[in-house]
Chains A and B, each alone.
Chain A
Amino acid sequence: MADTTRVDGPGAQAAGDQPASIDWEGIEHSPEFQELVSRRRSFVLPATIFFLVYYMAFILLAGYAEDFMGSSVYEGLTVGYCLALTQFLMVLVLGIMYLRRADQEYDPLAKKVVDMAERGDLR
């Protein structure tokens, strides 16, 4: 198949260790690959929507609710500063959550797909 092995593409140099011809379409339709993609997507998609909404909500509050953001929680500590700190917290929590899931869940699934392809089960 002409489009399965590229001699001039970015993959050319690395292709040395790979089987001469990989059935990319077959791998794409394999249940193992589909499981990897759907599991990753089930975390990444809602997480992306969440952080974009949460960030934009913060920006909109800063733009339209100046008084609320400037009101004091405790002396000079404002609502805006506290909400800003929750943005920092959100970044770290989502980052670590994704890292753990990827290491424990997605990487083993990806390895399964790669092993399968390298054994040639799908060629």
Chain B
Amino acid sequence: MTVLAAINVEAVVIFAIVLAITLGITFWASKRAGSAVGFYAAGRQITGAQNGLAISGDYLSAASFLGIAGLIFLYGFDGFLYSIGFLVAFLTVMFLLAERMRNAGKYTIADVLAFRLRERPARTAAALGTLAVVAFYLIAQMVGAGVLIQALVGIDFSLAVILTGAFMLCYVVFGGMVATTWVQIIKAVLLMVGITVMSIFVLAKVGGSPIELFNRAEAEGGETFSLSPGTFLSSPIDTVSLGLALVLGTAGLPHILMRFFTVPNAKAARSSVVWAMFIIGFFYLLTTFIGFGARAFLGTGGEEAAGKAGNLAAPNLAQFLGGGEGTFGGDLFLAVIAGVAFATILAVVAGLVLSASAAVSHDIWSNIVRKGQDSDKEEVVVAKIAAISIGVIAIIVAVIGGAGLNVSFMVGLAFAVAASANFPALLLALTWRRFNTMGAVTGVLFGVISSIVLVIVSPKVWPGADGETGSPIGWTLANPGILSIPLGFIGCYLGTVLSKERGAERTYHELYVRSETGLGSEQAAAGH
């Protein structure tokens, strides 16, 4: 990316526009985020369609946009496997959790567990699961943001991370869930428009025929690229392990589940998932045109400029489509796609920080420390302090860790923890009568610890001298899901049957009826 040796003026202008719009929304939203229900759940007044867009905006990270396009550019078919897992995951969300979460919960995952289990241990366990997922995911996104903005705009990595963190905190602290939701909606619209326009440009260059695009991509294929699988994910077991973590992990991501508390009822929660399926499905379909387009037009010669993970393949393709390096059209199109990527990162990190601050203020502070005796106002103040603390810690870790932190490893870890700790505990709390507090605590601990340990001993962390595997215990998989997810369920089961506590069976009646029918569920705030 030789044009970007200096600061890219077009990109700075586009970034400024994105920031001006989102800060304007935050100012407008700040009046609606004063109460706890406003701050955490946007007053539960988001419609199904709006929430579907916001879920897409919350979910489609820069890793989805630039990362998957880059993987398809570099490896072809294997990059596409990620997209399919990310999309199919929404069936898990819809069939097993979306409506039940809306009916049974209030602001956090822990609310659902605390409904029938002993409050303090259950909330502590759920908060641990939430904070572990957010920690890995947030730091990965911040590092990704720094690397991308550095490459696209030409400013320093640390400055890019700090700026991203500062704006993220602005949205969350001043605008709460209302601002976060609208930032996510705007981002989703920008992203869809951006990728659609790019896809039309790509298809126009090959006479509108996707088949011709595949042929051209294959003709340009280098050493790694293939239309067949097996180029990126070399071990089939690893592929299965990754697939499991993607499909079950999404249903344990706190920032995604939190979105279901923002709609008025289960019907809206359900329709929002279908909206999200269409938007996200369309998006992932188009990423193949971007990835294959980058391969067809940039070819093997474009691999170096796209970076090691291929993250800059999409912006480079935009530059090519706009007329090429050094032309006004090329620079403008590049700047627009960079701006879209920037909005993408901001929307995701804001959602992550909000869900973590809710776990700290609503679960740990309000319900464990203050035992529910604090005021609504105090809870919101604590949530804002928590958001700032979490945001600052993430910025510091990202700046110190620097661009060398392995982003894909941390995203994989976040999904593994979500699938192995949060998902089993939530699903069993909602569907298994016998489940109890000990089961939830051991399940979450098994899930968190096994995911982290298996990733630490994985070959990704121990690049062996022999190149095969450097894992100290001979564990060869990069993705822990295939073992850690069953361990999470086994932890839930063992804790439950080994404990004498039977009280959770009585409170199950209420949770069961409520989660299935919505009887007694949280109502939308009136008077907005």
Contacts and interface: CB of A to CB of B under 8 A. Distances in A.
A91 B104 CA distance: 25
Contacts of B519: 18, 22, 27, 113-114, 117
A14 B518 contact: no
Interface string A74-103: 111110110010011011101110110011
Residue picked from A48, A52, A90, A91, most chain B C-beta under 10 Å: A91
A25 interface: yes
B105 interface: yes
Interface stretch (B178-186, B212-220, B325-333): B212-220
B214 A77 contact: yes
A25 B211 CA distance: 59
A91 B239 CA distance: 20
A44 B270 CA distance: 13
Contacts of B78: 62
Most buried by B among A3, A44, A84, A87: A84
B84 interface: yes
Interface stretch (B18-26, B169-177, B413-421, B503-511): B503-511
A71 B244 CA distance: 26
A69 B267 contact: no
B309 interface: no
B77 interface: yes
A33 to B, nearest CB: 7
Nearest to A51: B91
A92 to B, nearest CB: 6
* Chain B, interface SS category: helix
Contact of B278 (A47, A48, A87, A92): A92
Contact of B228 (A17, A25, A64, A80): A80
B26 to A, nearest CB: 27
Of the candidates B112, B218, B519, the one having the most CB atoms from chain A within 10 angstroms of its own CB is B519
A78 B227 contact: yes
B274 A96 contact: yes
Contacts of A80: 77, 227-229
Interface of A: 3-4, 6, 8-11, 13-15, 17-18, 22, 24-25, 27-28, 33, 36-37, 40, 44, 47-48, 51-52, 55-56, 58-60, 62-64, 66-67, 69-70, 74-78, 80-81, 84, 87-88, 90-92, 94-96, 98-99, 102-103, 107, 110, 113-114, 117
Given A99-B271, A102-B270, 9 more contacts: A6-B510, A14-B520, A14-B522, A24-B514, A55-B247, A63-B239, A70-B228, A91-B90, A99-B270
Q: Which 6 residue pairs are nearest across A and B when measured between Cβ atoms? A: A70-B228, A63-B236, A76-B214, A76-B215, A24-B509, A62-B229
Interface of B: 77-78, 80-81, 84-85, 87-88, 90-92, 94-96, 99, 104-106, 111-112, 114-115, 119, 210-218, 226-230, 233, 235-237, 239-240, 243-244, 247, 267, 270-271, 273-274, 277-278, 281, 284-285, 288, 371-372, 506-507, 509-510, 512-514, 516-523
